[in-house]
Amino acid sequence: MAAAAAASSSGSFFILRGAYATATATAASLKASPRTAFSLFSPHRLRLSPTPSLSRRSVSYVRATGNEEDAAKAAAATADSGASTIFDKIINKEIPSTIVYEDDKVLAFRDVNPQAPVHVLVIPKLRDGLTQLGKAEERHGNILGRLMYAAKIVAEKEGILDGFRVVINNGPGACQSVYHLHLHVLGGRQMKWPPG
Ligand code: AMP
């Protein structure tokens, strides 16, 4: 399936769906590969239980926990205070990150808590009021386009062009936890639909 645009009522903006997304599935399994060695316990998403003897992992959808929702609400409370975020430290190289792509406007680095074998965050180097997508104004059109194009470059570099997903969590209803606009680029496994 080609690009699809949709905004869920919860406030999550799922911008792109990969080629092989399927309809409702509450449980599934997939073959483990070296890239499936990732931990899953953050918002929205999937939990993998390793079954090494079979070289397979069972996959089931889980809801965001109360803690994640509370943390997201707490983060939202200071979203527009102008305070810097952890991403400023990454941009300024004050804390380490694994950079996948960088240009004059955009930085892409691996998520510290990956939800898929490939999970990269794409952010504007200058926040410029874009604490979240919901704050976008017409003047942000250029950087929003740059972010989308960078997501494609990341997918290409990571070898997931045939099936990847781009997600923007917007606001506490979507468990946004960092108030510096970021695109999640996810891939390297079969994506399911609808998402959690
Ligand atoms: P969201 O919940 O949509 O606001 O996404 C924020 C993302 O930032 C989460 O997926 C976190 O795992 C990720 N994250 C937080 N701190 C770091 C960090 N220091 N390096 C990389 N990713 C991070």
Q: Which CATH number is 152's domain given? A: 3.30.428.10
Query: For a pLDDT cut of 70, what percent of the chain falls above it?
Result: 67
Final residue of a structural domain among 76, 97, 120: 76
> Which residue segment(s) compose the domain that 45 sits in?
17-76
Asked whether residue 54 carries a pLDDT value surpassing 60, the answer given is no
Would you say the CB of residue 177 lies under 6 angstroms from ligand 1?
yes
In a domain, 9, yes or no: no
d(CA 114, CA 70): 20
Final residue of a structural domain among 33, 55, 76: 76
For residue 11, count other CB atoms closer than 10 A to its CB.
18
Best substitution site from 178, 181, 185 to test ligand 1's pocket, by max atoms within 8 Å of Cβ? 178
Structure tokens belonging to residue 109: 């680095």
What residues form DSSP beta bridges with 179?
Answer: none
113 Cα: distance to centroid of ligand 1 (angstroms): 7
- 78-126 residue pLDDT tens: 898 989 999 999 999 999 999 999 999 999 999 999 999 999 999 999 9
For tokens 């993998």, what's the residue? 48
Q: State the alpha helices, DSSP H only, in the chain.
A: 66-77, 86-91, 141-158
Q: Which pLDDT score is estimated for 22?
A: 33
160 Cα: distance to centroid of ligand 1 (angstroms): 21
Verify that 56 and 97 share a domain, yes or no.
no
Verify that 59 and 109 share a domain, yes or no.
no
Burial of 140 (0-12, 13-18, 19+ CB in 10 A): middle
Would you say the CB of residue 71 lies under 6 angstroms from ligand 1?
no
In a domain, 135, yes or no: yes
Final residue of a structural domain among 42, 57, 76: 76
SS3 59: strand
How high does pLDDT run on average in the chain? 77
Verify that 51 and 141 share a domain, yes or no.
no
In a domain, 37, yes or no: yes
Verify that 143 and 97 share a domain, yes or no.
yes
Q: Which pLDDT score is estimated for 63?
A: 58
Verify that 31 and 105 share a domain, yes or no.
no
- Which atom of ligand 1 approaches the CA of 110 most closely? 21
pTM, to two decimals: 0.75
For residue 46, count other CB atoms closer than 10 A to its CB.
21
How many domains does the chain contain in total?
2
Verify that 100 and 30 share a domain, yes or no.
no
d(CA 66, CA 43): 10
Verify that 166 and 113 share a domain, yes or no.
yes
Verify that 47 and 121 share a domain, yes or no.
no
53 Cα: distance to centroid of ligand 1 (angstroms): 32
Verify that 101 and 70 share a domain, yes or no.
no
d(CA 128, CA 139): 10
Is-catalytic flag, 119?
no
Verify that 27 and 107 share a domain, yes or no.
no
- Which atom of ligand 1 approaches the CA of 175 most closely? 2
